[in-house]
Structure 1
């Protein structure tokens, strides 16, 4: 079961549709495998070229972290089909590398595997944490980095404007 504080984080170098979810898992040792089972059963797209109808989940141990990953076809995916482990089994030209990780009691999930990897580095103290940025004398329910939000929204706007169909809007958006 999830317990305590949880967070949803967007990053400038990712996509609007791929935030990082961070939560605290409060369960017994037996229940610790439940998130991985739920991930395996519920995350994935129908891949008719895959033998089992979905691509397999890879499960790895990285230090204290247990990590589950599955490549999932999507026309909005962040990786090109050629970068997949089994590109011939994908139904789309793009895919997400959806990831779930649990380290101690911290649960991390995102469609962007890079965000999960970065969060694991933060937990392992090899990457700076938000606690180094926010004030220590109060509760901060929301933190906004204006430059990061601006970069994220600018990238999403440019991605969503078809360059050939909307050249005026595309050029205007590039100059902002």
Structure 2
């Protein structure tokens, strides 16, 4: 049995690409950053915690935990949750490079495998009107960094530099497929 420790529709859609049967379960994990925690540390800790929380309830299943954070000059930018925060995040990122840390953890019982991806997004200069139009069009309030790169958000960038394009959406499938193969899954 394979379980995705997430209720994210984006992660669910990504995992469906691997054509493996799986279920989803909500991990009951506090996602608040710890004092002084760097973005890379946060995503590793949360990916592991999400996988562990669900694995405790399903000890015979392989559980996938994943997390992502935007890193603007070492400051964590999470999901905006609303329009005002989304507008502010995008205004702060305009004309800048932002790092997106994405971690994935695969766990069954006490066995744990993990991987991470670092994606650099170079935002083009963005006018207030462009930001407002974008936010009104896609309402990316549940996305780290306030955009959907798989949608209209792609028009906000000059470039994306990554080892794994799916990591920016929230689940690094190249790394996950490798972890699954290590545990005996046939992917593809």
TM-score normalised by structure 2 residue count: 0.25
Q: Which structure has the greater CA radius of gyration?
A: 1
* TM-score, normalised relative to structure 1: 0.26
Structure with the larger helix share: 2
